[in-house]
Copies of this chain bind each other. A is one copy, B any other.
Amino acid sequence: SAPIALIAGPCQMESRAHVLECAAAVKEIAGALGIGVVFKASFDKANRTSISASRGVGLDEALPVFAEIRETYGMPVLTDIHSADQCAPVAEVVDALQIPAFLCRQTDILVAAAKTGAVVNVKKGQFLAPWDMKNVLTKVLESGNPNVLLTERGASFGYNTLVSDMRALPVMAATGAPVIFDATHSVQQPGGKGSSSGGERDMVAVLARAAVAVGVAGLFIETHPDPDNTISSDGPNMIALKDLKGLLQELMEIDAVSKKYRATA
């Protein structure tokens, strides 16, 4: 019943300068609002729709930048890993390892992430029912790591579309793990643009309001200085940094109402 926290940052670390600019902006917004924040950026987009799409700066270039963000801004950092062998080196410079949705059932990756001792944030696969995340959670817990977050990011709904089932939030919360709502990828239209994925930015706020009213531990929102001009796959889903503060303000107010009633329930 603590107030919502925020996981935010750009889809992709486009360069050191770019990600530091994002981190400074996110830090300032979170500070102004008094919301707990984890900074997020990806060093590799390992499952882009097209083989010729930009994949990011890569592990070697990214690790020192993650360390720099952690030191300079005093924010915990989260990034996503894509194979078991990335877990240990990445965990040395970040606070939380994220398991991508497509990989949420890969036992070796879950176990390797768990064993680093970092917080593990597992995204629910688009192909999974919310109650099936109990088995995923158990894989991490039984590997000796109690610090697990479960993230909702939409379920397959016909072709090239996801739907956000708000019932999934209390179902996953019943496992005891804090539940995050990923408002960015929930509005993705997978494969919807032919050789990249489409999205519906306007729906980020819509779904975030719904999830916060239902009750979540935190929100995952990708943000960018200029989301319409980015090499990232999630350009169509990211919200502009200049719009983040206003949205969070509203969400924090909804959260206060929701948590007040949960506390007395």
Residues of A with Cβ closer than 8 Å to B? 46-52, 55, 82-85, 102-103, 105-108, 111, 125-132, 135, 138-139, 142-143, 155-161, 163-167, 169-170, 187, 190-191, 195, 200, 202-203, 206-207, 209-215, 250, 253-254, 257-258, 261
Contact = CB atoms under 8 A, between A and B. Distances in A.
A190 B132 contact: yes
A127 B166 contact: no
A210 B203 contact: no
A102 B106 contact: yes
Determine how many copies of this chain the complex contains: 4
A254 B258 contact: yes
A135 B196 CA distance: 9
Given A50-B139, A51-B142, A253-B261, 14 more contacts: A46-B107, A48-B107, A82-B106, A102-B102, A102-B127, A103-B103, A126-B156, A129-B159, A131-B191, A132-B191, A158-B158, A166-B207, A170-B202, A250-B258
Contacts of A191: 128-129, 131-132, 135
A38 to B, nearest CB: 23
A42 B258 CA distance: 33
A243 B213 CA distance: 19
14 contacts: A46-B108, A47-B105, A49-B132, A52-B142, A55-B107, A126-B127, A129-B191, A132-B191, A164-B166, A166-B210, A167-B203, A210-B210, A250-B258, A253-B257
Contacts of A203: 167, 170
Contact of A210 (B126, B156, B163, B211): B211
Given A191-B135, A257-B253, A165 B167 contact: no
Contacts of A170: 202-203, 206
State the 3 A-B residue pairs at the shortest beta-carbon distance, nearest first.
Answer: A158-B158, A213-B213, A129-B159
Contacts of A46: 106-108
Contacts of A211: 210
B213 A254 contact: yes
B135 A50 contact: yes
A85 to B, nearest CB: 8
